[in-house]
């Protein structure tokens, strides 16, 4: 029972380490991102990936969102969030290695709350990634409501969830 | 039921991405490793961390092993390995961030199989770190027998650090 267009996006507390431009290499204090209160009144793009530092996510999915972040913002997106089942320390390190600064919030859903509440969880225990991962998806959340939802039919590829497709849907 | 000195080291299947000298920056293919098969007949130093890329692990625990790796091998360690419940891609990336090649095996216990078998696994959900996290510890395993166990009692790195292990080799 996965989330659909028209649904209210579930309220979940994710964690992230904010980018600190005065000290870009250190590990700043983690913050909570609440998907209800922090998304209220905003247009948010949420990109779910199975795993930080994995081939497809690193070479095909995240880089295009990083490159096109300003284009998304120019089309009215207030916040871009990349989330996976990794913890927030890993997401922060991955973001740093991919040149993400302030443009994208790299959030961790290590407790699997987002996967469970959206129905977008993916069991990847067989390939050693644990059972509480997110499938590859991209959603546009407009003032708390799902306005667009793309779920990659084959999570190891990037087609409908790619940045260009999301820009076209805005 | 936590492991003790004198116990036989449990059999567990872990995952890792072997270092490929012909293509050191690429993401190699993950391999499985059975601890019983891989550790049999060898002296193994295994240190476990709660999380790759986390402050204590990154600043205090891992660097000590990197600094003392030659000494560890000189004192008879055939294998030096780091294990955490992060997946093998994350462990590989973390190792690469220190320029680790094949001198330290970066192992993943993503399903907590090893942690549970050792009785050294914790629930990190309260800190939003997920339900499976290994405790901070170091083991010396000699031909599958545990000859040293240092489980860190609090924050920081003491009995699980490279220097403590060196003193016991």
Domain regions of chain A by residue span = 13-18+32-151
Nearest CA in chain A to B111: A130
B129 vs A contacts (CB less than 8 Å): 87, 110
Per-residue pLDDT tens over the stretch A38-95: 999 999 999 999 999 998 888 899 999 999 999 999 999 999 999 999 999 999 999 9
Q: Could you tell me if B110 lies within 8 Å of chain A, comparing CB atoms? A: yes
Domains of chain B, CATH where assigned: 7-18+29-142+155-167 (3.40.30.10)
Helix (H) / strand (E) containing A103:
none
Assembly ipTM:
0.85
Q: Could you tell me if A114 lies within 8 Å of chain B, comparing CB atoms? A: no
Per-residue pLDDT tens over the stretch B62-86: 999 999 999 999 999 999 999 999 9
Domain A13-18+32-151: CATH class, spelled out:
alpha beta
A94 vs B contacts (CB less than 8 Å): 93
Inter-residue contact A90 to B49 (CB < 8 Å): no
Taking the C-alpha atoms of residue B69 and residue B64, their distance in angstroms, rounded to an integer, is 8
pLDDT category, B30, cuts 50, 70, 90? confident
Are A108 and B128 inside 8 Å of each other by CB? yes
How far, in Å, are B12, B114, B118, B119, B168 from residue B142 at the CA level? 16, 17, 16, 19, 12
Are B130 and A54 inside 8 Å of each other by CB? no
Q: Could you tell me if A53 lies within 8 Å of chain B, comparing CB atoms? A: yes
Place of tokens 């207030």: A78
The percent of residues in chain A predicted with pLDDT above 70, rounded, is 97
Per-residue pLDDT tens over the stretch B101-128: 999 999 999 999 999 999 999 999 998 8
Q: Which active-site residues of A does the annotation give?
A: 57
Q: Could you tell me if A156 lies within 8 Å of chain B, comparing CB atoms? A: no
């Amino acid at each position: 029972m996965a989330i659909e267009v028209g649904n209210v996006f579930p309220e979940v507390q994710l964690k992230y380490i904010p980018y600190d431009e005065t000290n870009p290499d250190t590990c700043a204090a983690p913050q909570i991102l609440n998907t209800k209160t922090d998304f209220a009144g905003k247009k948010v793009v949420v990109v779910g990936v199975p795993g930080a530092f994995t081939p497809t996510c690193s070479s095909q999915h995240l880089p295009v969102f990083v490159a096109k972040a300003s284009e998304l913002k120019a089309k009215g997106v207030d916040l871009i969030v990349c989330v996976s089942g990794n913890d927030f320390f890993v997401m922060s390190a991955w973001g740093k290695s991919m040149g993400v600064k302030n443009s994208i919030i790299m959030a961790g859903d290590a407790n699997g709350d987002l996967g469970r509440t959206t129905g977008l969880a993916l069991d990847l225990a067989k390939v050693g990634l644990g059972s509480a991962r997110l499938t590859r998806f991209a959603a546009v959340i407009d003032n708390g409501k799902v306005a667009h939802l793309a779920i990659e039919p084959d999570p190891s590829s990037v087609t409908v969830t790619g940045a260009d497709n999301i820009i076209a849907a805005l | 039921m936590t492991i003790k000195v004198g116990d036989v080291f449990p059999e567990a299947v872990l995952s890792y991405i072997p270092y490929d000298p012909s293509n050191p920056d690429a993401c190699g293919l993950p391999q499985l490793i059975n601890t019983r098969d891989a550790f049999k007949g060898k002296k193994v130093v295994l240190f476990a961390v709660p999380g790759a890329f986390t402050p204590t692990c990154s600043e205090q625990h891992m660097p000590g092993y990197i600094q003392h790796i030659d000494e560890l091998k000189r004192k008879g360690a055939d294998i030096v390995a780091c294990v955490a419940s992060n997946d093998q891609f994350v462990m590989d990336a973390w190792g690469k961030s220190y320029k680790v090649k094949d001198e330290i095996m970066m192992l993943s216990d993503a399903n907590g199989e090893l942690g549970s078998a050792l009785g050294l696994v914790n629930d990190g959900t309260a800190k939003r770190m997920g339900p499976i996290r290994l405790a901070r510890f170091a083991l010396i395993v000699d031909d599958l027998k545990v000859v040293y166990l240092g489980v860190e009692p609090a924050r920081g790195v003491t009995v699980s650090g490279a220097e403590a292990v060196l003193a016991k080799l």
